[in-house]
């Protein structure tokens, strides 16, 4: 009986000692993310960056202030596409930035005169952006009514915001994919 009791006590002590290691191993795995949003940097009275957030349509990400995350702070007020991994810490989504570039997501609005395409605007959270150069605007106008991510630089002059586009790509809506899969299941 003493042997059984001693073994039980040893097993309980061993289990208690291993519990913290097991819980530490349950840390959520980093999730790869490609997010487009506006950078919001917070600075202290001395001008030192204390916090950076990436405000996206899916919500806010807290940016880890090391590596490329520290560089992202320099894009305060600009729209970017950030690629990295997300970890959940104390209920917040923390983005560890691996790469980023200036990018603007929005709905394409073709500008036409009769049947002739004259250009395009990109409706974004920053307002309507006039797309330049002309060949990019005409190419983008073919995607009228669609969501795109446009890469380039933004300039403002006389209250007109012009986005000089170097490239763009269509955005595939996650909700649309989910709805399609749901409908496929219902049909079966």
What letter would DSSP give residue 184?
H
The residue that leads in pLDDT, 139 or 24, is 139
The string of pLDDT tens digits covering residues 122-148 is: 999 889 999 999 999 999 999 999 999
Between CA 93 and CA 63 the distance in angstroms is 8
**Judgement on whether residues 84 and 98 belong to the same structural domain of the protein:** yes
Q: Does 146 fall in a domain?
A: yes
Q: What stretches of the chain show up as alpha helix (H) in DSSP?
A: 2-24, 68-72, 134-141, 174-187
pLDDT in the model for residue 13: 41
pLDDT in the model for residue 2: 53
The string of pLDDT tens digits covering residues 6-23 is: 444 444 444 444 444 444
Q: Does 25 fall in a domain?
A: no
Are 108 and 122 in contact by the 8 Å Cβ rule? The answer is yes
Between CA 149 and CA 166 the distance in angstroms is 11
**Judgement on whether residues 111 and 160 belong to the same structural domain of the protein:** yes
**Judgement on whether residues 108 and 97 belong to the same structural domain of the protein:** no
The string of pLDDT tens digits covering residues 33-91 is: 999 999 999 999 999 999 999 999 889 999 999 999 999 999 999 999 999 999 998 88
Does the structure show a pLDDT above 60 at 157? yes
C-beta atoms surrounding 123 within 10 Å = 13
DSSP string for 40-67: EEEE-TTS-EEEEEEEETTEEEEEPSST
When divided into structural domains, the chain yields a total of: 2
Give me the domain span that covers residue 79.
31-102
- Coil, helix or strand at residue 82: strand
**Judgement on whether residues 84 and 109 belong to the same structural domain of the protein:** no
Model-level pTM greater than 0.85?
no
pLDDT in the model for residue 52: 97
Between CA 78 and CA 160 the distance in angstroms is 16
**Judgement on whether residues 44 and 92 belong to the same structural domain of the protein:** yes
Q: Does 23 fall in a domain?
A: no
């Amino acid at each position: 009986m003493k042997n059984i009791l001693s073994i039980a006590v040893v097993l309980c002590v061993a289990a208690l000692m291993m519990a913290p290691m097991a819980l530490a191993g349950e840390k959520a795995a980093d999730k790869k993310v490609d997010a487009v949003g506006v950078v919001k940097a917070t600075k202290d009275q001395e001008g030192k960056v204390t916090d950076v957030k990436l405000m996206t349509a899916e919500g806010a990400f807290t940016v880890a202030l090391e590596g490329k995350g520290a560089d992202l702070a320099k894009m305060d007020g600009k729209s970017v596409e950030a690629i990295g991994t997300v970890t959940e810490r104390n209920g917040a989504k923390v983005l560890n930035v691996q790469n980023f570039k200036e990018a603007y997501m929005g709905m394409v609005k073709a500008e036409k005169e009769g049947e002739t395409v004259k250009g395009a605007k990109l409706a974004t959270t920053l307002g309507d952006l006039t797309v330049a150069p002309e060949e990019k605007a005409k190419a983008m106008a073919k995607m009228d009514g669609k969501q795109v991510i446009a890469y380039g630089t933004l300039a403002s002059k006389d209250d007109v915001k012009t986005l000089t586009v170097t490239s763009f790509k269509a955005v595939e809506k996650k909700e649309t994919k989910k709805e399609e899969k749901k409908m496929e299941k219902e049909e079966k």
